[in-house]
Structure 1
């Protein structure tokens, strides 16, 4: 490797390290120089001017050291953190084992999701938002997941992945988005605007540049995402309460783990919409032709406070004496009563009787178009 290329490599490595660890660039470069046996980065550049050149082994050692000093999973078996090798959002689901218990872990839009049989852990991307462990109510009380020590082990694995994601995000954003300048100004990672004061659209909080950068551009007050952080509070009208600055003492960091026992078994809640959907589906099944099918789709179905059903059919689309047997059977299964009536209403197409001759929507459409064509105003009366 040529001298200029090796120096460029060291600059690139130190830059990735600085962004990922949210350190000043000079500290990251001094760290690299010291690992090569030099006092600081200036000493390294002077050594290059004197035609000193690190060996390939030294460069690889520094690269491994920088990679290994960044947060990563113990179970990956990789020498490189994912955010330097590939996108942190393309890792898919990974598997691991804790105390003999298998688990899976993945990311979704910056959040960490870790789960196993009967439990799942969610660590939000927002640094001030609490992680939540949900345990299925059906899990026996003597299961390992109920033990606080095991819960902390699970949490440590997920928090390590969360730090890995944070490092990846920080290394992808502009340098000024995570490191304020001497005046406290930072750059929005999306809009690229610069300011020392920022405002949250959700809670109207006033946030300093240092606070928002440290919190990965999530509101320290309500955890709103970077999309809701703006340079001005333009949504406030004259006379509205001005935004309240957030105190550094109010930013406590990530709260303790929340543990919830939940019953995730599916439960049937028979409301009016669900009953109507089932009854209409049954009416379509009862329809013997295209006309009746239109009648089933256009029937007025209501559900009262006792979940009993009334059905009003259009008299030209549903035979007056035809019983909707499937719909009545469904209602019986649901334990509800059904009342029927006939009504007049606006027809979607002329000659509804055409649909009585076919059950094919294609055939009905063809006949309907031909019938309309016969009535064209420019058609000869002969």
Structure 2
């Protein structure tokens, strides 16, 4: 494996682990790096560029770590030999091309995932599921995901794969779970109830057997999974509908939606989400960064109190004013770190002075100790002395 192969494989594992556990990508990268014996991801990057390669034991540990949360993952080809790991009955990734662009497509927990350099498409198990299209790496030049024709071709491939998945699932179901009988009844593939109409626990939508079976037992209205579909709306109590035939009329629109979903790609307006990390500054974030920098400037417990209690205001342009208590922050001491942070953020920082915000008597005590423990000890002793106890 080359250093690029190693880094890319680790990034793929980290990305999927992050998604599975809803963690920031950088945290997942650091977790992967820790399994390789590094304190953080940048250290692993530097080592790989310098010729380091993980041992077979380390690779096994990383794969085992990823396997706990990721049902399918793939090592990139090395010397023409690719290794695929498949878990939970999912299909291994397959490689293909759309024009000059390489992609990988795989099935995970019934969903189809299709990805390439800088992009990813996810298509849910239900036939009515709308595709989720995202930019995963903004730095990729000429990212094909911005080309409507490329997206159209990619969705055709993803739809075909999704139909294969649906066929495999249906093969394991009872006949009545895929096709209503002459009376319009269908059998739930999980709880085996037999009914003419079905109710969604998630959105209370009523559906006919034809509508629900055509959508792989996902709610035609909200897309909820089969475990949310029941033959009676027991959760509604007295509000449950009395006319059970009303469901047939109420789901006509949903049924039309399911029938036309497979042919909608050519007319579908795809929203492409950019999920690459972006720093979006707002009032809270600017205040947080300035207060952190002010704490860096603090040299003793008194100044730390001043930093924590400083009144920091941020306007709509993210320019800020910082009001410091003269009893807690030394007169004439500039908060150099806070000023540098403001400069890095490209904002103006105005400094003002106030008084009377100290939370305890004798604020000077906090300037003559080295730690919070020493300060609290001195503070308690002073209060005890003046209380006469």
What band does the TM-score fall into relative to the shorter chain? Answer: 0.5 to 0.7
1:232 Cα deviation (Å)?
A: 0.8
- TM-score, normalised with respect to structure 1: 0.57
* Counterpart mapping for 1:29-108 below 5 A: 86-88=87-89, 94-98=93-97, 101-107=101-107
Corresponding position: 1:319 with 2:330: yes
1: distance between equivalents of 2:378 and 2:176? 69
Structure 2 counterpart SS, 1:158: helix
2: distance between equivalents of 1:178 and 1:320? 79
1:251 alignment partner, one of 234, 258, 273 = 258
1:350 Cα deviation (Å)?
A: 7.1
1: distance between equivalents of 2:151 and 2:315? 48
Corresponding position: 1:286 with 2:297: yes
- Segments of 5+ residues of structure 1 without an aligned counterpart are 1-81
1: distance between equivalents of 2:155 and 2:352? 58
- Segments of 5+ residues of structure 2 without an aligned counterpart are 1-84
1: distance between equivalents of 2:338 and 2:180? 67
- Say if 2:178 and 2:186, in contact at 8 Å, map to a contact too: no
1:96 Cα deviation (Å)?
A: 0.8
2: distance between equivalents of 1:279 and 1:186? 61
1:316 Cα deviation (Å)?
A: 4.5
Larger Rg: 1
- TM-score, normalised with respect to structure 2: 0.56
1: distance between equivalents of 2:132 and 2:180? 32
1:119 aligned partner: 119
Q: Go from structure 1 to structure 2 and tell me whether the alpha carbon gap of 1:144 and 1:119 turns closer, same or farther (over 3 Å shift).
A: closer
Q: Go from structure 1 to structure 2 and tell me whether the alpha carbon gap of 1:209 and 1:259 turns closer, same or farther (over 3 Å shift).
A: closer
Which is worse superposed, 278-287 or 327-336? 327-336
2:308 aligned partner: 297
1:271 Cα deviation (Å)?
A: 2.0
- Say if 1:185 and 1:209, in contact at 8 Å, map to a contact too: yes
Higher relative contact order (CA 8 A, sep 6+): 1
* Counterpart mapping for 1:118-267 below 5 A: 118-131=118-131, 133=133, 140=142, 146=147, 148=149, 154-166=154-166, 184-187=185-188, 189=190, 192=191, 194=193, 196=195, 197-201=197-201, 203-226=203-226, 228-230=228-230, 231-232=232-233, 234=235, 245-247=250-252, 248-252=255-259, 253-257=261-265, 258=268, 260=270, 264=274
1:113 Cα deviation (Å)?
A: 2.3
- Say if 1:177 and 1:188, in contact at 8 Å, map to a contact too: yes
1: distance between equivalents of 2:199 and 2:101? 44
Structure 1 counterpart SS, 2:333: coil
2: distance between equivalents of 1:117 and 1:145? 13
1:280 Cα deviation (Å)?
A: 1.4
2: distance between equivalents of 1:227 and 1:159? 24
1:277 alignment partner, one of 268, 275, 288 = 288
1:329 alignment partner, one of 337, 340, 348 = 340
1:128 Cα deviation (Å)?
A: 0.5
- Say if 1:199 and 1:233, in contact at 8 Å, map to a contact too: no
2: distance between equivalents of 1:193 and 1:290? 67
Structure 2 counterpart SS, 1:251: helix
Structure 2 counterpart SS, 1:126: coil
RMSD: 4.7
